[in-house]
Every structure is written in structure tokens, then in C-alpha cells.
Amino acid sequence: MRSDTSAGSGIAQADIDALTIIKYPDLRLQKASAPLAGLDENVRRLVDKMFELMFQAPGVGLAAAQVGINARLFVASPTCEQTDRRVYVNPEIVSAEGVQEEEEGCLSMPGVTSRIKRPATVTLRAIGLDGQTFQETGEGLLARVFQHEMDHLDGRLIVERMNSVARLANRRAIKDLEDPPASHA
């Protein structure tokens, strides 16, 4: 990978220190992310900031799209341990099998949860911060994290995966995100 990577993705222009997790219905969450051409110091700073935000939230995964950066990159820590830091640049799912249906939430849609059906085992190919391509197979929660974050990179939210009963059960939380109550300042 080239080292002049971040220019096209908006990383170079971003105030990384000021980034926050953006919330639905922000339109940036519905935009497919662009591949990174390489790794540079801006990408590494972005990754550090994403881990900081994810652990503060707390969450187990965070896509660059969720901080308003249009780049095919996500971080994960399925154990929620500070030492478990996984980075996936330009990831792609190479295989998926089985079925699992578990409760899922999203840092960009606080208060919204639903049982989502997804493949139980997923193999992902990505590039690490060292610039090397690797493959990782995840089962259970890790497979779910892979798929959830890949959805973000494709501009897709969990509300699009919910059945009609789940949408109905979450209608108040979704409406509150769409039309937040006015503050009384």
C-alpha cells in the first residue's frame, strides 16, 4: 500500500481530536465508504481516536463512517479489553456460514436494539496497520462484529435489518433520534 493514503477519504482534512460518534439520522451513516489507498500517520491517529471513542461508549466495534470519515476501516475489541485492539483496513468478507440470531445494538443508534439474524461464522480478509494482508475467522460475537461494521462501511444501519415487529418495538427510540426533544437552555 502507498503511504499517501488519507487524502481521498477525508482523514487528512479531519480534526481527529474533535471527532465524536455521529448519530442516526446523520446522512454520512448512509454513504458507502471509500477504500484506503495506503497507511500513514493520519490513519494511525484516526485508529487511536476510534479506539478511544469505542472504549468510552462502550462498544465492541466502530467503523470510520461512525465518526464521519468516509474510509473502509473499522476497529474492534470483542472482549472489551483495552489490550484487545483489532484493526481492519479495506476489509472484505470472503466466506460466511451457519445462522445465529442475537440481540444487536449500535453506537450510532443509542437506545435501539433488536435480534438480528446473521451468519454464525465469517472469514474476513483485511489489511492491518502493518500494511500486511491477513485473514481472520470469527464465530459468534466476533462474526457479528465483522458483519455489523461491514454494514456501516456499506452505508447500512441495523434498522434496515430489523423485521417489522422490531421496528415497531423500537419506534419511540428511532423517533427520538430523528426528532430529538428540544433543549430548554
Is residue 103, in this structure, part of any structural domain at all? yes
CATH number, domain of 116, equals 3.90.45.10
Residue 22 belongs to domain spanning: 16-178
**Residues with a known catalytic role:** 149
What 3-state class would DSSP assign to 165? helix
Is residue 5, in this structure, part of any structural domain at all? no
* pLDDT of 4 higher than 90: no
Average pLDDT over residues 73-96: 97
Structural domain count of the chain: 1
Binning pLDDT at 50, 70 and 90, where does residue 49 land? very high
Binning pLDDT at 50, 70 and 90, where does residue 13 land? confident
Binning pLDDT at 50, 70 and 90, where does residue 182 land? low
Is residue 156, in this structure, part of any structural domain at all? yes
Beta bridge partners of 1: none
Q: What percentage of the chain reaches a pLDDT higher than 90?
A: 88
DSSP summary character for residue 68:
T
What does residue 135 show for φ and ψ, rounded to 5 degrees?
Answer: -125, 140
**H helix intervals, the chain:** 41-56, 141-153, 164-169, 171-178
